[in-house]
Amino acid sequence: MAYYARMAKNEAVAAAVDRVPSGFRLPLAALAVGLFVAPPLIWLTGRGLFGAYANGGPFSLWGDFFGLLARGSLAAWIVALAPLALVLLVRGAIALSRRVG
């Protein structure tokens, strides 16, 4: 079996990642997915099902999405927090199953 050494990282990035406790890394990644991956996926799906986005491309959708977040739109906050909620729900289910079983 081949051994792969860790790739060199930017020292500042490595230090920042090492300061984040491991229990927060997955929830932070889920939040990043909700903010930066979900909107383009919504744009791609909408473009395939309904045609072109009325306000432009995926970057226009991102601008509209962050604008809706700033104005407190419930739909935008659900999209942004859904991956985080899923991670927390799975973690809770795992913790509960360990406690019960």
Q: What pLDDT, on a 0 to 100 scale, did the predictor assign at position 28? A: 92
DSSP-assigned letter for residue 73: -
The 10 Å Cβ neighbour count of residue 61 is 19
pLDDT, the chain, mean: 86
pLDDT-based confidence at 1, cuts 50/70/90?
A: low
Burial of 80 (0-12, 13-18, 19+ CB in 10 A): buried
Burial of 50 (0-12, 13-18, 19+ CB in 10 A): exposed
Encode 8-33: b = buried (16+ Cβ within 10 Å), e = exposed.
eeeeeeeeeeeeeeeeeeeeeebbeb
Tokens of 89: 């729900």
pTM of the model: 0.73
Do 55 and 64 contact (CB within 8 A), yes or no?
Answer: yes
**pLDDT, tens digit, 9 for 90 and up, residues 46-91:** 899 998 888 888 888 889 999 999 999 999 999 999 999 999 999 9
Q: What pLDDT, on a 0 to 100 scale, did the predictor assign at position 3? A: 64
Measure the CA–CA gap between 80 and 46, rounded to whole angstroms. Answer: 17
Percent of the residues in the chain that have a pLDDT greater than 90, as a whole number: 52
Highest mean pLDDT among 8-12, 17-21, 66-70: 66-70
